[in-house]
Amino acid sequence: MDRRLFPRLGPLEALRAGFAWNIPEFLNIADVCCDSWAAVSPEKVAVIHRGAAGRQVWTYGQLKRASDGLAVTLAAMGVGRGDRVAVLLAQHPAVLVAHFAAHKLGAVSLPLFTLFGEDALRYRLSDSGAKVVITDTAQADKVAALRTDLPGLIHVMNTDSAAFAEAIATPARGFRPVRTRADDAGVMIYTSGTTGDPKGVLHAHRFLIGHLPCMELSQGGFPQPGDVGWTPADWAWIGGLMDMALPCLYYGVPLVSHRFAKFDPGAAYALMTEEGVSNAFLPPTALRLMRQAPEPTGLRLRAVGSGGEALGGDLLDWGRDVLGAEINEFYGQTEANLVVASCAGVMARVPGAMGLPVPGHDVSLRDATGAVGTGDVGEVCVRAPDPVMFLEYWNKPAATAKKVVDGWLRTGDLATRGADGQLRFHSRDDDVITSAGYRIGPVEIETALVSHPDVLMAAVVGEPDPIRTEIVVAHVVLREGAAWDGLEAVLARLVRDKVSAHLVPRKFVRADSLPMTATGKIMRRALRRP
């Protein structure tokens, strides 16, 4: 099956002029990413997993049988349309099996990051009302400790258990997936909590299709015969799941599954060489670390997509010279992903620019009065409706109404447009921290810090860093008489245990007071280093 939207690449304006969305009335991610391929090519390679047990190859037929079996088991537990099924697993074929099983029941899959601590998990599982958690032995204790706080959670399934093995191995005779409409909810991904508590971003099955134009352009006319895809980005986030994993399966491209406990550029080179990876999504921090490693040999990369942080012209040149591939930047957020891109071969490359709106997406820079002029700063806005756009914030109608105003989704990011039409990121109008490819919100970290009896107040901000774009810096005010010696390590451990290891501040600053507004709100912007 050739599912390409652009059989041939050409000038962006020509691609945009000839483009029109073709969203079917009925659509299910599990069908287009799994069952439809299994029906015509059951032995076709879907996933190549590299893990502790060695190299495993999963075909589309195996993915279908496993997800059918798991769907039957979940249905027997009472999971049905609209129920939330949490997936707390690192990169592994079981992640895809869990997502597809939920989708086949009309349920909503909820990817969760394995580095989340108990507080972060408790909030997301409680707020979402998740009915089932699918996890493994490494995460099971964390979930077990929360069961009394989650009355709506009816079952925790361990993928390392005999029960799970039996579920995915038992033939699901007579099972028929439910039929879902393209606008039916299918996936919910929580934001990082950039302004307040994290929000559950509810997406319809159609959002997969909304990602495809940028995927094809940024990955160099994806797919081509022999393509193999991989990303080190965790599939719990929209970048790992939707910028590589599910699009690979949609197009029938073998997907390499491997998650480093800690990113190792040398091991990443070896993995891509051994598996013949041609297409990758590599966050800028990963690229900067790879640049510091010995130059690789034997790579067959032809295109790399990257986003989340700005790339300099020197990194683009390095990619061309050392990786042998163009690095194409793109821009989006959890609520509306992959709407702007800078892609070689279809537009002029301008170092430092995010690029141009991708065909199918109407993007404008706007202020309170409307579109801004060339060179003026405006908020990046995406016209609604758009297939890649979210349905709503879960249980937050006021926040949803504030996000989409007068037919435009407001991203909260500010940019300028040059005379060449290309967008250049300017700043953020919220308190998000961009570090090592993660969009980090301060609230959860601050909440963890002030739970320590010696901490009266805390404010978390980003500080510029040449490798990670920004590092997380915590400014803390201590109670009178509290000792500072040794407290930094204690607070770091507190954040790691309560929230997540990737959110631990890399720097702590003791402060006598914090800048406040007249209404008592902390002015984080006043703490940022210019």
In a domain, 501, yes or no: yes
- Between CA 130 and CA 154 the distance in angstroms is 9
- The SS3 assignment for 390 reads coil
Residues ≥6 apart with Cβ < 8 Å to 456? 450, 477, 478, 479
Are 92 and 116 contacting, i.e. CB atoms less than 8 angstroms apart?
Answer: no
Closest C-alpha to 255, from 285, 235, 283: 235
Total structural domains in the chain? Answer: 1
In a domain, 312, yes or no: no
In a domain, 86, yes or no: no
- The SS3 assignment for 126 reads helix
In a domain, 444, yes or no: yes
CATH number at residue 449: 3.30.300.30
| Inter-axis angle of helices 442-450 and 118-128, nearest 10 | 120
Which domain covers residue 481, as residue numbers? 433-527
In a domain, 476, yes or no: yes
- Between CA 48 and CA 58 the distance in angstroms is 6
In a domain, 223, yes or no: no
In a domain, 120, yes or no: no
In a domain, 39, yes or no: no
Q: Which residues pair with 168 in a beta bridge?
A: none
Per-residue pLDDT of the chain (530 residues; tens, 9 = 90+): 999 999 999 999 999 998 999 999 999 999 999 999 999 999 999 999 999 889 999 999 999 999 999 999 999 999 999 999 999 999 999 999 999 999 999 999 999 999 999 999 999 999 999 999 999 999 999 999 999 999 999 999 999 999 999 999 999 989 999 999 999 999 999 987 655 688 999 999 999 999 999 999 999 999 999 999 999 999 999 999 999 999 999 999 999 999 888 889 999 999 999 999 999 999 888 898 899 899 999 999 999 999 876 677 778 999 999 999 999 999 999 999 999 999 999 999 888 789 999 999 999 999 999 999 999 989 999 999 999 999 999 999 999 999 999 999 999 988 899 999 999 887 666 677 888 888 787 878 988 998 999 998 899 999 999 999 899 999 999 988 999 999 999 999 999 999 999 999 999 999 999 897 554 567 887 888 65
**DSSP line for 277-290:** --EEE--HHHHHHH
